[in-house]
Structure 1
């Protein structure tokens, strides 16, 4: 089963998406966008940038847990990962984004 982008609406009425792996686990979450079209453009940016290792910033969150961000060519963050239990689990998450994002389907829960 391949991955999918799921577009949802936040409580403030803005849009965001999650990239989910084939097993349904979330692997990347976007910022919020004012319009659905902007969220869709964000998905296209993730598709384009996901295969490029230099677009990932491997870091720790405020609790010291490994996580990563995915950045566009302009260095803006386009997605943030969940927290991971180890650096190797985080690296597996990055590989999952690289594998799933380019061909992931889109499920729009806002229509």
Structure 2
């Protein structure tokens, strides 16, 4: 009987401790300012987007100089770039003709 009483007392103490922990957790949660947390998240997102935009713009602005330094004479470039231009235009046309109905139905919807 004393053993069962000890088990019962231990169980009651464990349940009481659990309830106290839950109460403490909820009391701590009421002190959290969700507005400040939300602002910090959005501010971080905006700063990250701006930084990556600036990195992209820096890359793009630098690529023009690289192209100018590495391209060939215009008469040669015209011949070398014609197949790539044809491939791009053929791919674009295939995409337009193959996917236009889907685009049209989405726009109409």
Query: Relative CO higher for 1 or 2, CA cutoff 8 Å, sep ≥ 6?
Result: 1
TM-score using structure 2 length:
0.19
Q: Which has the larger radius of gyration?
A: 2
